[in-house]
Structure 1
Amino acid sequence: MKKIFNYTLRALLLGYLGLSFQLPALAQFEQAQRIEIPVNSSFNESYDVFSLGENGALSVVRRNEFTGTRNEYWHFTRYDTDLNPLWTRPYKLDYRYVPIMAYQSDYYIYWLFAEPDTDHFLFLQLDLARGELDVHKGDLLSGVDVHQFKVIGSKALVAGYYHNRPVVLVHSFFDHTTRVLPGLYERNTEINNVDINESEGMINVITYAYRKRSCQFNIKTYNYDGKLLKSTVLSNDRNSFISGQIVPLNVDDSYLIGNYSVGCTPFSQGLFITHIQDNEPSDPQFIEFSELQNFFNYMKPKRKQRMLDRIGKRKSLGKENRFRYRLLVHPLIQTEDEIILVAEVYYPNYRSSTPLMTNGLNRAYTRSMDGFRYTHAIVCGFDRDGRYKWDNSFAIKDLVSYELQEMVQLSRVDDYFVLAYPQEGNIHTEVIHREKVVVENEKYQLESKNDTEKVLFNDNANLAAWYGKYFLAYGIQRVGTDRSLLTGTPREVFYINKLAYKTEDIGQPKPASTGEASTRKTSGSKR
């Protein structure tokens, strides 16, 4: 599932990126290809990019004129892995609809649109191979607050809240009928995840409910026609399950992996894995953060040691350690021999407003939400028998996102895992070999397309793991020369960069770093 992401074309106020000190060592992140789409100031434009793996990439450009026209024009372009265009398709969106979410499957990408204050919805289906578009319209529920959107077969699943109660609506593209999945419309219940098993035609709705001062984790399984087949309840006297993802083995056999808390709180205490067979969950394996080998590596050495000493002292006294971490858990990555969990640790970022005088005596301070600040990412490996095997972490410095989204991307290259995230026109990377750090945090600066120009401003940088050793970086930049910065004539472009991580030069694990991460420019050479 992917939310529609807007690039608002405003004045780019981020600071000027000067030439960074370049080390003589060979950069391991190289800019293999780059395309630039000029930004047209006559239009209000938005951009998005979808990774299609070895099948290329898809860009979506949305634009409408500032002159008051209400229709929005969408342009879809599919590229091959060298960023050469394969086809382009235009689409004129009815002005009455607004985009809500997108969902990507193996062969299609779907967009969900809603007509505000009505029960009218529109589904747009794009065939990735041929570029053909199909439009489906339907009536769902007016005023439903949509949180998840997925498609299984020829049916759309729209999950959210109606009058503060959870609902999952199933709309058939074939006969345009809509039904509500039974057994979900209850008070004090949240939808944790809607999991689909395409091969078996199964729908699993995972809910989190508050019941008499306790928390209940429930998996309701439905068939393709929306019939409730079974309900699996997970409970523990001490711990509460916060989130969970299903790893199916067969129809009646699966693993559930997620994070848990102590008591009914949103703060994670650690990770868990449980085996569910014939509707019966086994005793979960709880892995407290303090039991992970590298969880606290994001801290400076002295602070980390103080934390470990405090944890050890409390354990020696028989006291319980309590952690207050918020986790954004990514979709699980499955390989032939491992199940990989990636999660980012974050906390809400607040800022205080200017104090107000009340009655001329007291000052009233208010706090407003100012995005989400990330501290580090964790990577954990489980074998195919559901046993925890290894973990690692990746420190994230001063990264704030105004939308809670997956920032750290992971790609497996040979027997290594490359971790990367974008920040203000730079790409931060780290390479691990399971629990060992092979290449510590490094920073690479994105370049312009021409050697005579450089990047002057950056905005809305994004990164996606693409395939193998390749990543896609995209966003909005102003590029030009030093003179164009003075004359006010830099070019504003939407860029897509193909980045390649060279693992050929990776050697033995590096010693601990004593300073800031190095800054290198990505090479402009072709693959």
Structure 2
Amino acid sequence: MGIRLYWFLAMLGVPLFGIAQIIQPDRIEIEVESTSNEFVVVSADENGLLIFRDSEERNPKGKHIWEFRKYNTALKQEWRRDLAMESDYILRGYDYDKGQLCVLFQDGPYQDRSWPMLNMSVETGDTVQHFINRVAPVNLEYFEIVGQTVVLGGQINYKPVVIHYDMLTSRLRALPGIFQEDGELIDIIPNENDNTFDVLIGEMNDNRVKTVTLKAYDQYSNLLQSAPLNTEDRKNLLDAQVTEFDGEKQFLAGTYGPRRSRYSRGVFIASIQPNGEQDIKYYNYGDLNNFFNYMRDKREARIKRRIERRRQKNKALKFNYRMVIHEFIADNDKYILLGEAYYPKYNSYYYSGFYGGYPSRYDNMYFDGYRFTHAIAVCFDKKGNLLWDHAFKLDNVKSMQLKQLVHVNVQNDSVVLMYSYEKEITTKVIKNNGEYEETTTKAIKLANENDTLKNKNDSEIAGIEKWYGEYFYVHGTQDIKNSQNRSLDLKRKVFFINKVAYDGSGS
């Protein structure tokens, strides 16, 4: 590194012992056909990764061959299993926990039979098949492993229901205290330390204000606690996540908005003690220091001037956002909430024709996916006080589902946010209790020199997930060409997985 570069970095405040970077130490590629089904990728934490798909190959009896592969943390394949499944099986859910992978199917398209389920050992690939009888037509939304049981959540006639299945006894039952007239299932969260799990329900309280109720169960489906949050009369609690019980309190955080509205105006954090005592605090989006950082500088400055004027006049701050909450992480004595702001996009298409001998024109609307504007990370202390917040610009990324785009990892004194879009991986790293941040972008690493991506990959979202330790993994399908290496096909389509990490040491 030359003297001028050292001087330039010093002026920028960059430590001279190294530059932070995104590293991608390992990659696998599997060549696929254009019509091949996508692989599902499941983290097995320090045990590696599992991938599976319906290969659409058939055995002599006409059954579909489902392909399962296991990779270690260096992305070396350890085993492969090909399992014959009925041709009308439809994948409905999957989950990994403590050395086992469960994969849930629907037996037929009409939801009136059973849920076949595979319980697979991650170490050996040995598999046991279960058949969970469906006693009612459930619109299934959640599937989680809790010890030797699985928990399935969804709706029956627009009412929330959670079903508990014991893999040892094949016993099936609906959880008590869930099925009700005016509720909405928000999430099911297993607790890793004690084989309990939490169910979050959105429901109306006696004042007709929407609140969040935390219900805790053990792995045998016994109700341990039921605690609705005591929200204020004019604040609907819209979305939430929960941390595990720390021996003293359990913390919930999410979004709130005005009555009779699905739009949020800020975030809340609440604590619940075993005796039922609660504390809840609300923070309007205008109270956050960096919430509007995703905007252009001039627009952000106008918004902040408007906030200050309204504060001086003691007027309420009224910002309306659609926000989905993905994670709420306990980091020692700090709690970090991660959410993403979005809006649905609709487009029109026109067609014309003749009706009754006269020309006519029709205008139809269709849903064209969700656009994500930015992600937020908000950090609180154990008393619910706001410590810091940061925004991560997403540039109106398009997705057809409200799936999580930005993932978070806590490394020592740093909070690492990472997402992947348009052939690149971007990280935003927050350090020193929120006082310092940096953004790093790097292209998704390809396998060979002179490999290039075809243009049609430019607007695709690559899936990215937290893996183990400081590592993430990014995966997807790429169309690659290489006109220089004669040992490779000129053009090939591959499914890939890259191991990714943020290296703050600059080594």
Structure 1-normalised TM-score? 0.82
Larger mean CA deviation between 353-362 and 95-104 belongs to: 353-362
Q: Which residue of 2 aligns with 1:226?
A: 221
Q: Which residue of 1 aligns with 2:464?
A: 463
Q: What's the offset of the Cα at 1:309? A: 1.4
Distance 2:219 2:345 in 1: 41
Q: Which residue of 1 aligns with 2:155?
A: 161
Q: Which residue of 1 aligns with 2:203?
A: 209
Select 1:109's aligned residue among 98, 101, 105.
101
Q: Which residue of 1 aligns with 2:68?
A: 76
Distance 2:409 2:192 in 1: 24
Q: Which residue of 2 aligns with 1:35?
A: 28
| 1:90 aligned onto 2:91 | no
Contact 2:159 2:179 in 1 (8 A): yes
Distance 1:406 1:272 in 2: 20
Deviations, residues 69-105 of structure 1 (Å, cap 9, x unaligned) = 8533222222222211222233222223211011222
Structure 1: unaligned runs, 5 residues or longer: 1-24, 507-527
Select 1:428's aligned residue among 426, 429, 433.
426
Q: What's the offset of the Cα at 1:494? A: 0.8
> SS state of the match for residue 310, structure 2?
helix
> SS state of the match for residue 292, structure 2?
helix
Contact 1:231 1:279 in 2 (8 A): no
| 1:322 aligned onto 2:323 | no
> SS state of the match for residue 233, structure 2?
coil
Deviations, residues 11-44 of structure 1 (Å, cap 9, x unaligned) = xxxxxxxxxxxxxx98822332221111146x73
Larger mean CA deviation between 100-109 and 66-75 belongs to: 66-75
Larger mean CA deviation between 416-425 and 397-406 belongs to: 416-425
Contact 2:243 2:329 in 1 (8 A): no
Distance 1:321 1:358 in 2: 52
Distance 2:197 2:499 in 1: 36
| 1:338 aligned onto 2:347 | no
Distance 1:263 1:186 in 2: 21
Q: Which residue of 2 aligns with 1:249?
A: 245
Cα distance change, pair 225–483 in 1 and its aligned pair in 2 (3 A)? closer
Select 2:190's aligned residue among 173, 193, 196.
196
Residue type of the alignment partner of 2:392 = F
Q: What's the offset of the Cα at 1:123? A: 1.7
Distance 2:466 2:102 in 1: 20
Distance 1:358 1:207 in 2: 51
Cα distance change, pair 269–81 in 1 and its aligned pair in 2 (3 A)? same
Cα distance change, pair 256–471 in 1 and its aligned pair in 2 (3 A)? closer
Deviations, residues 488-522 of structure 1 (Å, cap 9, x unaligned) = 9511111111234331249xxxxxxxxxxxxxxxx
Larger mean CA deviation between 81-90 and 431-440 belongs to: 431-440
> SS state of the match for residue 464, structure 1?
strand
Q: Which residue of 1 aligns with 2:371?
A: 373
Select 1:418's aligned residue among 413, 416, 420.
416
> SS state of the match for residue 81, structure 1?
coil
> SS state of the match for residue 312, structure 1?
helix
Deviations, residues 381-425 of structure 1 (Å, cap 9, x unaligned) = 223454432111111113111121111122334432332211122
Q: Which residue of 1 aligns with 2:127?
A: 133
Contact 2:430 2:436 in 1 (8 A): yes
Residue type of the alignment partner of 2:494 = V
Cα distance change, pair 356–270 in 1 and its aligned pair in 2 (3 A)? farther
Q: What's the offset of the Cα at 1:445? A: 1.8
Q: What's the offset of the Cα at 1:162? A: 0.9
| 1:187 aligned onto 2:185 | no
Distance 1:215 1:358 in 2: 50
Q: What's the offset of the Cα at 1:269? A: 1.5
Contact 1:294 1:435 in 2 (8 A): no
Distance 1:187 1:68 in 2: 49
Q: What's the offset of the Cα at 1:451? A: 0.9
Cα distance change, pair 26–37 in 1 and its aligned pair in 2 (3 A)? farther
> SS state of the match for residue 321, structure 1?
coil
Deviations, residues 450-485 of structure 1 (Å, cap 9, x unaligned) = 11322225355212233444331211112123589x
Residue type of the alignment partner of 2:160 = P
Contact 2:374 2:393 in 1 (8 A): yes
Q: Which residue of 1 aligns with 2:3?
A: none
Larger mean CA deviation between 145-154 and 251-260 belongs to: 251-260
Q: What's the offset of the Cα at 1:199? A: 4.1
Deviations, residues 286-306 of structure 1 (Å, cap 9, x unaligned) = 111111121111111110011
Larger mean CA deviation between 403-412 and 189-198 belongs to: 189-198
Q: What's the offset of the Cα at 1:251? A: 6.8
Cα distance change, pair 120–256 in 1 and its aligned pair in 2 (3 A)? same
Q: Which residue of 2 aligns with 1:478?
A: 479
Q: Which residue of 2 aligns with 1:19?
A: none
Structure 2: unaligned runs, 5 residues or longer: 1-17
Contact 1:209 1:216 in 2 (8 A): yes
Cα distance change, pair 437–455 in 1 and its aligned pair in 2 (3 A)? farther
Select 1:397's aligned residue among 390, 395, 398.
395
Contact 1:447 1:455 in 2 (8 A): no
Q: What's the offset of the Cα at 1:54? A: 3.4
Contact 2:53 2:67 in 1 (8 A): yes
Q: Which residue of 2 aligns with 1:21?
A: none
- CA root-mean-square deviation: 3.0
Contact 1:188 1:210 in 2 (8 A): yes
Cα distance change, pair 92–437 in 1 and its aligned pair in 2 (3 A)? farther
Select 2:380's aligned residue among 363, 379, 382.
382
Cα distance change, pair 318–425 in 1 and its aligned pair in 2 (3 A)? same
Select 2:257's aligned residue among 261, 266, 277.
261
Q: Which residue of 1 aligns with 2:503?
A: 502
